[in-house]
Structure 1
Amino acid sequence: MYNKFILENGITVVMEKIPYVKSVSIGFWIEAGSRYETVKNNGVSHFIEHMLFKGSKKRNAKEIAESIDSIGGQLNAFTGKECTCYYAKVLDNHLPIAIDVLGDMILNPKFQEEEIEKEKTVVMEEINMYEDSPEEIAHDLLAEALFNRHSLSYPILGKENTLKSFNKSIIMDYYNRFYVPDNIVVSIAGNFDIDTTLDLLTSYFKDWGLRHGKNEEFQKPEINQTLKGRYKDTEQLHLCIGMQGIPQGEDKLYPLLILNNIFGGSMSSRLFQSIREERGLAYSVYSYPTLYKDIGTFNIYVGLNPNQLENVSNIIIKEIEGIKEKKNITREEIYKSKEQLKGNYILGLESTSSRMSAMGKNQLLLNKVYTQREILQKIDSVKCEDIIYMADLVFNKEKINIAYVGKINDNKKVNDIIKKTYFRS
């Protein structure tokens, strides 16, 4: 059972007490990510995430790290398309320290010019590391194909030219618009006293007055049909296929998750079995949905020998048509997929970090936290016709987008194979 509170200055707090554990996880969730950026400041959300670890008014970078390391805890952060999260996991009696450290980082960052210049080099190395992963490049290229010039297509890390342009003024402008109380959710899960913790948070943030920052009006992206390829000296061809899915917060998510398990989201899925196990044509093949506030996608990835592109593509289309046109989903597949989904969900509940993340993200982006019973009921209530409906929705050939990365010297040949297989009417 979770509890929700709103502090006087507008910060939302969601809490779940789990008395049988000895740890507590806390996350500060900010609705700021690459979706809220422009062409000129792309990457600034992620850069600010880095900078908050570089020093505050109370602590330098080493002291921030030592504050949590010295109590055996974990401190980290991540940036996504629509949110940024700073989180810690500590023993239950050390929660006040975690609140002090995270709160200090978010409230009192220094953003020193010298540290900004040094961190540009660090982030540039992170971009270079990413460039060494053709699979990651393929997924980002797919986002460009799916969302065209919409901000959802922007890379989370940014690009070299935008990174070089960052200065304190650009960073502070973004920070002041997004790091405001009514744009923040604090999520806590573990063994702690709710009243004492709420008093602690209220006292800590009492001087951070009510302030409104961003006022963003989103334009929903249009998904059409695009093909993008990029040359890279690799042994494999990394192929990504993306179609329109559903936004966050819809009940249709659960039929989609069950469809994904059946189609390509697990080792027992049709794609994995037909491409890897039965024919040995790829080592890595999988499907997955992505969900944003007003749109979603359904994606397929496969790493393969370029010579097998046509063969593997025909298998993928055959599996899609098997579900969409023959509607050949069995009761046994649905039952197994539901049990797999419930099992993964329930096992995740054993982690305070997972519980904290689910509560924080849902409250931030959906303004709602679902109970465990509600989620299990939603999974159990899915019918075969719900899954068929989702298959008709996502497997739409007019919305198929393709991105590939590999050592391709003859792009025309590859493009012709892809267009003939995936884009045919």
Structure 2
Amino acid sequence: MELLPGVWVLSSVLLQFFITLYVVNMLAQKSVPYFAHSLGPAVLTAAGRKGFLNSRTISSMSASLGDSLYNAPPTKVTTLPNGLRVATQHTFTQSATVGVWIDAGSRYETKQTNGTAHFLEHLAFKGTQRRTRIQLEREVEDIGAHLNAYTSREQTVYYAKTRRECVSQGLDILSDILQHSKLERRAIEEERGVILREMEEVNKSLEEVIYDQLHIACFREDPLGYTILGPVENIRSINRDNLVDYISTNYKADRMVVAAAGPVDHEEIVKCVCGQGDSSSAAEKFGNLPKSSEPRRAIAKPHFVSSELLSATEALGPSSHVAVAFEGVPWTSPDCITFMLMQQILGGYNSAFQGLIPPTLSANSSIQAVARSPSEEGSATWIGTDGVLIDRRCVPIEDNCFPELRFNMVELLINMTAVVITFHDEDQTFNTCYKDTGLFGFYVASPEQAVNRAIDELMCSISGLSYSITEEDLERAKKQLLTTLFIGLDDTTGVAEDIGRQLLVYGRRISPAEFVKRYCRDTHDVCMVVEDGEDNECDQRFLEAALLVNHNIAVHRRTLKQLAQQVCVDGKTKVAKIPNIMDPSRMAEISVFYYRAGYGPAHYVDESCWDVRKRLEESVAVKCPSIPEQLAGTKKVQQLWYSDPSVMTRFGLTEEEAERMREHFAVQVDPSVAKETVAAALKDPTAWVLKPQREGGGHNMYGDELVDTLTTNSNDQLKQFVLMERMLPAPLPCLAIDTPASREASRVVPKIISEGVSELGIYSALVMKGNHTVLDKPCGHMLRTKDVSVMEGGVHAGYAVMDTALLLTEDDITDSH
């Protein structure tokens, strides 16, 4: 999960384990990010009547997905020698859709050529070297096909929807259009006028204007901020050379996907694409398209600009139209689905269809109360202009909350509305994803006197995502999202569109079944790797209970030996599963492996334990810690940080900074090579400690044991140790409370520790995705105290006690005794 400036921050949690789980399983925990507005979003205001996005009805999924979803035909993909990908999915329909998805759009233009991709789309059906315009139109009509094309900021698409027996002919037409369009100067001049008239119509549509201006406000001079049509001066100046250059630069085989959906045979489609069909020669099919001679120049991620852009006009009426956007996430972000769910939760409102008062997640109690009217039965409803009860999500209000609304509330509210209360006309949430960024926000159409309140309400709604979303809200949003996505796959055009876009964006097709499995699964379990016979009562038992009770997340405890026998890591998806602790007949998918064991050789009882650790490391589950993180925390690595300053400089520190950092380290050396330090330790063993490679701060060697180890072991054996100068904190008197040995014991016994040493441990959370740091912050602490004469320090082993924040003087301790 990426932390996006000005967009959202994570709620803080105390334990590293819980933070890790929060990041990985945000959806499973029924939680969504908290939005912060400190940097300010991009805002656009214009005037007019028309809305920004078409209103749509979101229906709930009334039944669970059946086995047919998982038994659906797979998407088959073949990559040709020139890099062109051919993808098909068989559907049980009479019609089929075949198209070409090209990784090229207005984003790949320059300021001088902006509008070329869209201009080229207009010329696609104006005739080729094999077909005149009339012949092309007649052939399309003869086979009953629907031929279309569109351009977006990142993709250009040409597709044909036709009968099953005419798929190869449709492919032939598309191939001819893409490779042999004439691009005649007369046609260019004709379409220049058509595009200019199209621009005039677009400028009358506030939904188009505001969205384009929003991109300009957010991305400024970056090509992602360009309009798809381009500026007027470019439309007037684009010529044939510009079009040919755009084709030769962007229409490369390795940047294209030929996708087909319907009653199609994959092998036949591949043959047809390669020119092995009956309708034309191989030179006229996609298999002859050139491959890129060199890698495409990488496009830098655009800088999201926090700004406000205002535009005033009286030509379109008194209403204000506002779009507010935060930087969103790209298609490939792990949080893409989270933003989709947030869009579903926020939804939209249109007064023409949904009554008088917009049902926002308002934090304004007055607006909430005005919006709720108790019916005769005492239930709360939204008031509709026609008296229809619209939404029952609100909690009932008590009659004495608002005395002035106690009687005849509907009539009073309507009367107030005409004079005092004005609500906005429409709002809609949008979530637009691109390859490396996105836009998330809302659009509002409102009378001038209500626009500020409408924006405040919707901003409160966005903030409310972090604390006011119930489990019911999230489950409803998931069902709505699935319904919306799957409705788009009901026909062959939607399926082909999904295949083409996903292959360009992800490099593969994420099937509907995989989508449901990844984002709507009912298990996001944790496996805690423990020692055999683990009996530590303080070992996150309360956390386990909280996860199960509050979030339905089970924690499975397994030793490495048990995991070697039980875990299954899928060779393709790398998903790890173990038998479900609640139902051993089912397999539980593991999202987090949390290691309480695995830090010392004794935990790896045989070769299978080493092997399973490697398999777990290769899985997609979060490892806490991963092997690199575990190695980074070893005493040997700490010793290298001290003894070799170049190690620090390799991590970006200057030599001066590295030297200052070394001042905070105790002397730590390799006893196999640091002979002078070893001699000093043998001379005064009380000032030194010999540390083995084991977990924690215990199991160290002092005094005579230190001397014996240093004098009797070979250099190869001594390499496994770290010789460190002892840190001797000043001892303080303290009071320890000894718990009773049994329930029959009369009372707890205070115990005076005349000389005690306290240790403060700071716990931090580090979550990474590849080389990207997602989260790195302190999240808790522990204070423990032991007698200064005790060399070990474990609480569970009985050497130390958990401390409190109370600070007692020596007199207090004496009096207590």
Relative to the length of structure 1, the TM-score reads 0.85
Supply the distance in 2 between the matched residues of 1:353 and 1:188 (Cα, whole angstroms). 9
Supply the distance in 2 between the matched residues of 1:39 and 1:209 (Cα, whole angstroms). 27
Residue 795 of structure 2 is matched in structure 1 by: none
Q: Displacement, 1:337? A: 0.7
Matching of residue 212 in structure 1 with residue 267 in structure 2: no
Matching of residue 76 in structure 1 with residue 154 in structure 2: no
Q: Tell me the secondary structure at the aligned position of residue 274 of structure 2.
A: helix
Correspondence for 1:258 among 333, 337, 341:
341
One-letter code aligned to 1:171: L
Deviation track 1:99-147 (CA, whole Å, cap 9, x = no partner) reads: 0111100010111111111110011111111011122111111111111
Residue 98 of structure 1 is matched in structure 2 by: 170
One-letter code aligned to 1:172: V
Correspondence for 1:273 among 344, 359, 364:
359
% identical aligned pairs: 26
Say whether the 8 Å CA contact 1:28–1:87 is kept in structure 2: yes
Q: Displacement, 1:285? A: 1.0
Q: Displacement, 1:221? A: 1.1
Supply the distance in 1 between the matched residues of 2:338 and 2:521 (Cα, whole angstroms). 9
Deviation track 1:121-177 (CA, whole Å, cap 9, x = no partner) reads: 011111111011122111111111111111100000111101111111111111110
One-letter code aligned to 1:339: K
Q: Tell me the secondary structure at the aligned position of residue 76 of structure 1.
A: strand
Residue 12 of structure 1 is matched in structure 2 by: 85
Q: Displacement, 1:381? A: 4.2
Q: Displacement, 1:266? A: 7.4
Residue 449 of structure 2 is matched in structure 1 by: 307
Supply the distance in 2 between the matched residues of 1:140 and 1:89 (Cα, whole angstroms). 30
Residue 378 of structure 1 is matched in structure 2 by: 518
Q: Which moved more, 1:153-162 or 1:70-79?
A: 70-79
One-letter code aligned to 2:502: N
- After superposition, residues 327-406 of structure 1 pair within 5 angstroms as 327-381=467-521
Supply the distance in 2 between the matched residues of 1:105 and 1:96 (Cα, whole angstroms). 14
Say whether the 8 Å CA contact 2:274–2:288 is kept in structure 1: no
Supply the distance in 1 between the matched residues of 2:130 and 2:422 (Cα, whole angstroms). 57
One-letter code aligned to 1:369: R
Residue 94 to residue 310, structure 1, CA distance change in 2 (3 Å):
same
Residue 329 of structure 2 is matched in structure 1 by: 246
Supply the distance in 1 between the matched residues of 2:358 and 2:170 (Cα, whole angstroms). 42
Residue 53 to residue 212, structure 1, CA distance change in 2 (3 Å):
farther
Deviation track 1:51-77 (CA, whole Å, cap 9, x = no partner) reads: 111111111223222222222221100
Supply the distance in 2 between the matched residues of 1:128 and 1:49 (Cα, whole angstroms). 18
Residue 130 of structure 2 is matched in structure 1 by: 58
Q: Which moved more, 1:314-323 or 1:68-77?
A: 314-323
Q: Tell me the secondary structure at the aligned position of residue 53 of structure 1.
A: coil
Say whether the 8 Å CA contact 2:347–2:428 is kept in structure 1: yes
Q: Displacement, 1:209? A: 4.2
Correspondence for 2:464 among 309, 315, 322:
322
Q: Displacement, 1:85? A: 0.1
Residue 702 of structure 2 is matched in structure 1 by: none
Residue 175 of structure 1 is matched in structure 2 by: 247
Q: Which moved more, 1:104-113 or 1:203-212?
A: 203-212
Q: Displacement, 1:263? A: 1.4
Q: Tell me the secondary structure at the aligned position of residue 350 of structure 1.
A: coil
Supply the distance in 2 between the matched residues of 1:132 and 1:78 (Cα, whole angstroms). 20
Say whether the 8 Å CA contact 1:285–1:301 is kept in structure 2: yes
Residue 101 to residue 152, structure 1, CA distance change in 2 (3 Å):
same
Relative to the length of structure 2, the TM-score reads 0.45
Residue 75 of structure 2 is matched in structure 1 by: 2
Supply the distance in 2 between the matched residues of 1:39 and 1:341 (Cα, whole angstroms). 37
Q: Displacement, 1:280? A: 7.0
Residue 393 of structure 1 is matched in structure 2 by: none
Say whether the 8 Å CA contact 2:220–2:305 is kept in structure 1: no
Q: Which moved more, 1:315-324 or 1:239-248?
A: 315-324
Say whether the 8 Å CA contact 1:272–1:286 is kept in structure 2: no
Residue 40 of structure 1 is matched in structure 2 by: 112
Matching of residue 112 in structure 1 with residue 184 in structure 2: yes
One-letter code aligned to 1:17: H
Matching of residue 292 in structure 1 with residue 434 in structure 2: yes
Q: Tell me the secondary structure at the aligned position of residue 149 of structure 1.
A: coil
Q: Which has the higher helix share?
A: 1
Supply the distance in 2 between the matched residues of 1:175 and 1:213 (Cα, whole angstroms). 15
Supply the distance in 2 between the matched residues of 1:306 and 1:61 (Cα, whole angstroms). 50
Supply the distance in 2 between the matched residues of 1:243 and 1:292 (Cα, whole angstroms). 14
Supply the distance in 1 between the matched residues of 2:93 and 2:463 (Cα, whole angstroms). 47
Supply the distance in 2 between the matched residues of 1:354 and 1:257 (Cα, whole angstroms). 18
Q: Tell me the secondary structure at the aligned position of residue 282 of structure 1.
A: coil
One-letter code aligned to 1:283: D
One-letter code aligned to 1:249: T
Deviation track 1:251-304 (CA, whole Å, cap 9, x = no partner) reads: 311121111111135789xx9523997687233211011111111110211111
Residue 410 of structure 1 is matched in structure 2 by: none
Q: Displacement, 1:228? A: 0.6
Residue 403 of structure 1 is matched in structure 2 by: none
Q: Which moved more, 1:274-283 or 1:244-253?
A: 274-283
Residue 130 of structure 1 is matched in structure 2 by: 202
One-letter code aligned to 2:306: Q
Say whether the 8 Å CA contact 1:25–1:190 is kept in structure 2: yes
One-letter code aligned to 1:11: L
Deviation track 1:300-328 (CA, whole Å, cap 9, x = no partner) reads: 1111112211221221122223224xx11
Residue 237 of structure 1 is matched in structure 2 by: 320
Supply the distance in 2 between the matched residues of 1:81 and 1:124 (Cα, whole angstroms). 19
- Aligned-CA RMSD value: 2.2
Supply the distance in 2 between the matched residues of 1:346 and 1:225 (Cα, whole angstroms). 35
One-letter code aligned to 2:116: V
Residue 100 of structure 2 is matched in structure 1 by: 28
Supply the distance in 1 between the matched residues of 2:138 and 2:205 (Cα, whole angstroms). 32
Supply the distance in 2 between the matched residues of 1:84 and 1:206 (Cα, whole angstroms). 19
Residue 266 to residue 196, structure 1, CA distance change in 2 (3 Å):
farther
Q: Displacement, 1:364? A: 1.4
Residue 213 to residue 154, structure 1, CA distance change in 2 (3 Å):
farther
Q: Tell me the secondary structure at the aligned position of residue 344 of structure 1.
A: helix
Residue 256 to residue 148, structure 1, CA distance change in 2 (3 Å):
same
Q: Tell me the secondary structure at the aligned position of residue 81 of structure 1.
A: coil
One-letter code aligned to 1:242: A
Supply the distance in 1 between the matched residues of 2:75 and 2:422 (Cα, whole angstroms). 47
- After superposition, residues 196-207 of structure 1 pair within 5 angstroms as 196-203=268-275, 204-207=285-288
Q: Tell me the secondary structure at the aligned position of residue 59 of structure 1.
A: coil
Say whether the 8 Å CA contact 1:265–1:288 is kept in structure 2: no
Say whether the 8 Å CA contact 1:254–1:378 is kept in structure 2: no
One-letter code aligned to 1:135: E
Supply the distance in 1 between the matched residues of 2:273 and 2:294 (Cα, whole angstroms). 21
Residue 340 to residue 58, structure 1, CA distance change in 2 (3 Å):
same
Q: Tell me the secondary structure at the aligned position of residue 5 of structure 1.
A: strand
**How many matched pairs?**
380
Higher relative contact order (CA 8 A, sep 6+): 1
Residue 280 to residue 55, structure 1, CA distance change in 2 (3 Å):
farther
Supply the distance in 2 between the matched residues of 1:272 and 1:154 (Cα, whole angstroms). 34
